[in-house]
Amino acid sequence: MATRRFRADAPELDAFYERLAGADLQPLWLQENLMPLAPPRDAWLHRWPAAEYRELAARSGALVSVERGGDRRVLGLCNPGLGGLPYATPTLWAGVQFLNGGELAPAHRHSPNALRFVLEGRGTWTTVDADPVAMEPGDLVLTPSWAWHSHVNVADEPMLWFDGLDIPLALSLDAVFFEPGPDERPRPGEGRAPGELAFGTSPGLVPNRDRPAAPHSPLVRYPWEATDRALDALLAAEGGAGPADLRFVDPTTGRDVTPTMRCTMMRLVPGTALSHDRVPGSAVRVVFRGSGTVDLQGRREAYGPGDVIAIPSWSECRLEADERTDLFGLSDAPVFEALGFDRPPPAV
By CB under 8 A, the residues from 287 to 326 that bind a second copy are: 312-314
Here's the x/- map for a second copy, 54-73, by CB under 8 A: it reads as --x--xx--xx---xxx-xx
Q: What is the CA radius of gyration of the chain?
A: 22
Q: Report d(CA 265, CA 247) in Å as an integer.
A: 7
Q: Report d(CA 26, CA 24) in Å as an integer.
A: 7
Q: Report d(CA 63, CA 57) in Å as an integer.
A: 10
Task: Please choose, out of 18-26, 152-160, 269-277, 288-296, the segment that lies near a second copy by the rule CB under 8 A.
Answer: 18-26
Max CA distance (Å), the chain: 76
Q: Report d(CA 123, CA 134) in Å as an integer.
A: 7
Q: Could you say whether residue 11 binds a second copy (CB under 8 A)?
A: no
Task: Please choose, out of 117-125, 151-159, 176-184, 291-299, the segment that lies near a second copy by the rule CB under 8 A.
Answer: 176-184
Indicate the residue among 297 and 341 with the shorter CB distance to a second copy: 341
Indicate the residue among 171 and 273 with the shorter CB distance to a second copy: 171
Task: Please choose, out of 116-124, 151-159, 190-198, 297-305, the segment that lies near a second copy by the rule CB under 8 A.
Answer: 190-198
Subset of residues 71 to 130 that bind a second copy, contact rule: CB under 8 A? 72-81, 83-86, 89-91, 95, 110-113
Subset of residues 210 to 229 that bind a second copy, contact rule: CB under 8 A? 211, 215-217, 219, 222, 226-227, 229
Least distance in angstroms from the C-beta of 14 to a second copy: 11
Least distance in angstroms from the C-beta of 153 to a second copy: 17
The count of other CB atoms within 10 Å of the CB of residue 182 is: 11
- The string of DSSP codes covering 274-304 is EEE---SS-EEEEEEE--EEEEETTEEEEE-
Contacting a second copy (CB under 8 A), which of 282, 285, 292, 325? 282
Indicate the residue among 124 and 227 with the shorter CB distance to a second copy: 227
Contact 292, 247 (CB under 8 A): no
Nearest to 159 by CA among 66, 93, 223: 66
Contact 250, 261 (CB under 8 A): no
Least distance in angstroms from the C-beta of 248 to a second copy: 6
134 three-state secondary structure: strand
Q: Could you say whether residue 167 binds a second copy (CB under 8 A)?
A: yes
Subset of residues 19 to 38 that bind a second copy, contact rule: CB under 8 A? 19-20, 23-29, 31, 34-38
Q: Could you say whether residue 190 binds a second copy (CB under 8 A)?
A: no
Contact 221, 134 (CB under 8 A): yes
